[in-house]
Amino acid sequence: MLPDRSSISPRRSLLVLGLVLCAGLAGCQVRPLYSEAGGTRAKLTSVGFADATNRIEQVVRNELIFLASGGAGEPLNPAYDVTLKVSSEASNVLDDDGLAEAGIPVPGRVQLTGSYTVTRTSDGQVLRRGQHSSVSLIDVSRQSFAKVRAIRDAENRAARELAEFIRADIAIVLAKEPPQQPVWQK
């Protein structure tokens, strides 16, 4: 038989609710991605990046090196290696050539697509393959230099955003890696 609701005091129900919440939070395994306890920051500084094959790959690579190492540069003997392929595509949003001929800038977009592979150098195991895209909007002028410069500036903006996405993915992968054991020498 169930107890009558009037016999359960509000104080008792709050106590039970508090105990249930404490038990639920005790099983919670959430921690910051870049916490020192997981060693993710130290692992990020041990990532090496493959050489770039074009200008936009170089921009993304430079940004990734800066984000991963905090400005200290690449390690001499990286524990992890990242290969990167980045492509860029510029296009008009509108297909109206009459606007450009009238001297009105036409809206456009630059899309960067970056694919990457994170590999552990000690055993060559691929830890993650991924792909991200980043879009930057531009106004395309009739003037050829202004058009080229607008596209290059948009590529640079999109490259910074793409590097942030890729760095976050690399940090997630490295957070799951077991801590590196020190090598003792005699």
Q: Give DSSP secondary structure letters for 80-121.
A: EEEEEEEEEEEEESS--HHHHHTTPPEEEEEEEEEEEEEEET
Q: Do 110 and 88 meet the contact criterion of CB atoms below 8 Å apart?
A: yes
pLDDT recorded at residue 31: 55
CATH 3.40.640.10 fits 36-176, yes or no: no
Cβ–Cβ under 8 Å, residues 104 and 120 = no
On whether the CB atoms of residues 40 and 68 are closer than 8 A, the answer is: no
What 3-state DSSP class applies to 89?
Answer: strand
What's residue 144's pLDDT?
Answer: 85
Q: What's the token pair of residue 133?
A: 């895209």
Structure tokens at 76: 């001499």
Distance CA 42, CA 121 (A): 16
Radius of gyration for the alpha carbons in the chain, expressed in angstroms and rounded? 26
Question: What are the average pLDDT values for consecutive 10-residue runs of the chain, which has 186 residues?
Answer: 62 78 64 60 90 96 93 88 95 64 78 96 94 93 87 96 95 83 60
